[in-house]
């Protein structure tokens, strides 16, 4: 079987909002890998499509991880959140 797969280990995610945050926009990138040709795949081509995905996630009220890099409480050490997401 040929395809892609992405896991979300929900036993460590106590709420659906935390699951959404862990899943998106990673699911968008995973689908890009599944649907696009591996030859010539680039961020420059994916970025405009990602913007469209993020607009849809906003419209649906999905609690997703912003693309602007780690938030202040996500930097350093253990990677554990120092602030709740919901």
79 has pLDDT over 50? no
Rg (alpha carbons) of the chain, rounded to whole number: 15
Query: Would the pLDDT of 85 be above 50?
Result: yes
Domain membership of residue 16 (yes or no) is yes
With bands split at pLDDT 50, 70 and 90, how would you rate the model's confidence at 67? low
Classify residue 80: in a domain, yes or no. no
Asked if pLDDT for residue 20 goes beyond 80, the answer is yes
Is 75 among the domain residues?
Answer: no
Domain membership of residue 73 (yes or no) is: no
Q: What is the pLDDT of residue 40?
A: 76
Angle between helices 26-35 and 16-23 (to 10 degrees): 40
Residue 24 lies in a domain: yes
Question: Is 84 inside any structural domain?
Answer: no
The residue with greater pLDDT, 1 or 57, is 57
Question: Tell me: the pLDDT tens digits for 29-46?
Answer: 999 988 888 887 888 889
State if pTM tops 0.85: no
Q: Would you list the DSSP string of 13-59? A: --SHHHHHHHHTTHHHHHHHHHHS-STT--HHHHHHHHHHHHHHHHH
């Amino acid at each position: 079987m040929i395809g892609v797969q992405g896991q979300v280990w929900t036993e460590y995610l106590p709420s659906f909002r935390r699951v959404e945050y862990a899943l998106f926009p990673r699911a968008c990138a995973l689908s890009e890998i599944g649907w696009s040709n591996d030859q010539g795949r680039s961020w420059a081509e994916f970025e405009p499509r990602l913007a469209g995905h993020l607009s849809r996630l906003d419209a649906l009220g999905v609690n997703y991880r912003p693309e602007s890099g780690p938030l202040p409480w996500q930097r350093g050490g253990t990677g554990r959140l120092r602030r709740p997401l919901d």
